[in-house]
Structure 1
């Protein structure tokens, strides 16, 4: 099988990370226009998409034929994604779940291309998952300290793009109405106003008081960093379109000099030290920005710092492209 025979199939045209993904694929020459196939659910419609100055048709799932030479990337969930996963796996294609539809299935390896790509060599199935944007960023920020971690509390401020493109569009429309002195409509997805607001939770709460996304973040962090680490998470939604920021309160197994922690973080892969990181600074960057490093007040083994990143371009699009490149080249 030659590389030119390989194809990348994407389900998720119009999803929040889709445009960024096409940009990265083109910038890095990961695939040619002839190798790119776009699929949409049978009930959906999508116009042809431009990639590398070529028009790429969007094919309904019912009319698409999967083959072993393909890598199938799922950017959105739902029935169409579940059907595509089943058909692609049956055909012998590689499936990359970037929408969390296989979350909780221990037979599907969770792989961050920067942190544990070697796990690909021991997968049980040709279905693998990449972590969500929040887990990808937080895991990168904590990875240099992983051997010393005892517990971590994550307070994530996610942007509205983490909720999907419809919420981005709703926020834009609400902002326009507010600037024109009109009362905006409440967002149907969250049941709350998104523009000029800060939500304690964008989701319904479980009996425990957590949201599904908070528990999913704990699950993914434990799979990436180790089951021995205790995690707690809170996910707020800030009224910004793109860029996420997490405040991390970390308990180490034993006290460590702050200068040592700073050195470990400064040398971490794809980490960039900043005095005061912001989500705005992170948008467009290919690094996770870390900073505000300080000793915690809960005890000598506690440290606090924050991390910020571009949730769509870096934590979804770039991670997916790196993983797809690996599969197309070597698998």
Structure 2
């Protein structure tokens, strides 16, 4: 982007510097030269101990969220949730800015478009409000992995093994501290927000359960998958938390409309945008990558119309940062 382009009049505002997704988001913005340093505004709550950040060899001061004036020439990325995130969303939208909600502040609001740039970028132009939301945790990866099979799908069951970074920076710091204590022969404290130890553990659910037995994140995953792939596909989901910092893995059980042809399905997945076939994908090989790995495609023993396979990706870089930056680029250029 050159100094003379019209886009330089715009500002990109990131709310939530103290967030696990902030560093990969800043890296992608710099790699793709999405904005110039003078266009970037970084915000955090006043009581957060966050130092200035370096972007494109320039020091960027982190400003007080509570004192910041939003405006119509801005694109605002919300990495912060809770009361502060919702207040920032309301203030930015009221000022006429475009808002990209990457932290579930608009969860459940049907007037907000859920956008994955690979699947439904056109939803931005048709948006009822100047607010778009990124899909729920894991939904972007799973939707992209299923897209080549979209017209053949009848039902999908997702078992997502999410990393601790999906729970936020505080959970990452908590697991790091627990790991250090356990390596030193000390008792690790239970994470108060989760109710379980995070280090060297696997959680059936990191959240409280609803009456149905699901948690809110699982229902959000189901909701966003149906919005991205179509309401005609039956979806169920389970989200477990694995004791790793980054990288997610989903086991997918897919019921097709007709009997499965594995060679044909493998060819469709191989040609899928942003996908790469691997014999035995692991989350570790996906960390730092810009693609989603899929593999272990096999015929189910339960039905000739069911196949099972898995998908792995970098939950912060690929599914949040890259998708977010692609939306920001579209907003800066076209809206």
Per-residue CA distance 1:136-159 (angstroms, 9 max, x = gap) = 000000111111111111001100
> What does residue 311 of structure 2 align with?
307
Give me the whole-angstrom Cα distance separating, in 2, the residues matched to 1:246 and 1:182.
33
1:41 aligned to 28, 45, 55, which one? 45
Tell me what 2:246 maps to.
242
Q: Could you list the runs of 4 or more consecutive aligned residues of structure 1 that deviate by over 3 angstroms after TM superposition? A: 42-45
Map Cα deviations across residues 268-307 of structure 1 (whole Å, 9 max, x no partner): 1100000000000111111110000001112111000000
Task: After TM superposition, give the deviation of residue 58 of structure 1 in Å.
Answer: 1.4
Match of 1:167 among 161, 165, 171: 171
Q: Are 2:30 and 1:26 equivalent residues in the alignment?
A: yes
Structure-2 separation of matches of 1:289 and 1:96: 26
Q: TM-score, normalised by structure 1?
A: 0.98
Whole-Å separation in 1 of the counterparts to 2:326 and 2:125: 16
Matches of 1:231 and 1:46 in 2, distance apart?
Answer: 40
The answer to whether residue 149 in structure 2 is matched with residue 145 in structure 1 is yes
Q: For the residues of structure 1 that align with 2:94 and 2:220, how far apart are their CA atoms?
A: 27
SS of 2:76's partner is strand
Work out the CA distance in 1 between the residues paired with 2:122 and 2:232. Answer: 21
**1:108–1:124 contact (8 Å) kept in structure 2:** yes
The one of 80, 85, 90 equivalent to 1:86 is: 90
Checking the alignment, whether the CA contact within 8 Å between 2:147 and 2:229 is kept in structure 1 is yes
| 2:266 corresponds to 1:262 | yes
Give me the CA root mean square deviation: 1.1
Give the distance between the partners of 1:317 and 1:243, measured in 2 at CA: 13
> What's the offset of the Cα at 1:62?
2.5
* Separation of aligned partners in 2, 1:140 and 1:76: 25
1:132 match: 136
The residue matched to 1:246 in structure 2 has which SS?
strand
> TM-score by structure 2 length?
0.97
**Of 110, 121, 125, which aligns to 1:121?**
125
Long gaps (5+) in structure 2: none
What residue number does 1:230 align with?
A: 234
Q: Counterparts of 1:245 and 1:14 in 2: how far apart (Å)?
A: 25
Shift of 1:43: 4.5
Aligned to 1:75: 79
Matched, 1:276 2:280: yes
Q: Which position in structure 1 is the counterpart of 2:18?
A: 14
